[in-house]
Amino acid sequence: MDSYIKKVKLGSRELIFETGKVARQATGAVLVTSGDTQVLATVVVGKPPGEHQDFFPLTVNYLEKTYATGKIPGGFFKREGRPTEKETLTSRLIDRPLRPLFNDDFLYEVQVICTVLSSDKDEDPDTTSFLGASAALAISGLPFNGPLGAVRVGFIDGKYVINPKRSELENSYLDMVIAGSDSAVIMVESEAKELSEDQMLGGILFAQQEIQPVIEALKEMSNEVGKSPFEYEPKTINIDLINSVENQFLENISEAYLVKDKQERVKALSEIKEKMIAESG
């Protein structure tokens, strides 16, 4: 696939989404540029779920390399070590809105990695990374009910500000990150200095309105260069079995979890499990 570029305005900045040039072996890969900040977001799907697997193994990693700001580790630590607190919190920030939008019957292992390649020190790359992850999932063909948009909102001099710089946030009464779809707000994370409920709600509605052009651009990108839908065997849960267990053993399980001693509680739950297997077998 040849290199594809999609440009869209978000607030006062221009976002550039590029795919087909870097990380071609990934299921989906998008290079996002906002000013001097550039993030590579990749999505890779792994092996099918195991026979007894009943959860969705999604991993989201956000990586800030020191070379993104033109530095090389030196001194005692000459390598980059474990993730920083900022990297861990941003990984969770990206994970939370994405995870519930995958189909419930899709349990394949999925890995999303956002690597900051270049960073403007006065601009936080977290929302740019989220948009990159959303774009990469949108073109990957995976059963993801997106795309999503995200934006940071500040409240400075009585006005809402889209994606304020770090220096501007020092004078802001609000630091809010909103992620949403074309029809709903999916996630809100914020801190504020004594704003009213109406002002907080106004910030959410303002952000939801501002991310719509980005969502439309990602939809167009998905239609133009997105991969064909990923074929998989849905992992279904036996509803009849769940209802049977609830009807026969719910009271016993509830009583077992009220046991304070751990060993006795584990023993009680084990006996209930053995009884379930015996009666169903």
Q: Percent of the chain beyond pLDDT 70?
A: 99
Q: What is the pLDDT of residues 186-223, one digit of tens each?
A: 999 888 888 888 988 998 999 999 999 999 999 999 89
Distance of CA 161 to the CA centre of its chain: 23
CA dihedral 20, 21, 22, 24 (to 10 degrees): 40
The mean per-residue pLDDT over the stretch 119-143 comes to: 90
Provide the pLDDT for residue 32: 93
The mean per-residue pLDDT over the stretch 127-131 comes to: 92
Provide the pLDDT for residue 74: 73
Confidence category of residue 110, pLDDT binned at 50, 70, 90: very high
Domain boundaries, the chain: 4-225, 239-280
Confidence category of residue 81, pLDDT binned at 50, 70, 90: confident
Provide the pLDDT for residue 266: 92
- Asked whether 150 and 137 are in contact (CB, 8 A), the reply is no
Residues 6+ apart with CB under 8 A from 223: none
Provide the pLDDT for residue 1: 59
Provide the pLDDT for residue 281: 63
- Percent helix, strand, coil in the chain, to 5, is 40, 25, 35
The mean per-residue pLDDT over the stretch 161-173 comes to: 87
Provide the pLDDT for residue 252: 87
Residues 6+ apart with CB under 8 A from 265: 256, 257, 259
110-118 and 58-64 as β-strands: parallel, antiparallel, unpaired?
A: parallel
Q: Which of 30, 32, 34 is nearest to 11 (CA)?
A: 34
pTM (two decimals): 0.82
Amino acid at 23: A
- Asked whether 146 and 133 are in contact (CB, 8 A), the reply is no
Kindly report the number of other CB atoms within 10 A of residue 8's CB atom: 19
Amino acid at 248: Q
| Least confident segment among 20-24, 53-57, 77-81, 251-255 | 77-81
Top CATH class of 4-225 equals alpha beta
Say if residue 114's pLDDT is above 90: yes
Q: What is the pLDDT of residues 230-274, one digit of tens each?
A: 888 887 777 787 888 888 888 888 888 988 899 999 998 998 888
Say if residue 182's pLDDT is above 80: yes
Say if residue 47's pLDDT is above 90: no
Say if residue 76's pLDDT is above 70: yes
Say if residue 94's pLDDT is above 90: yes
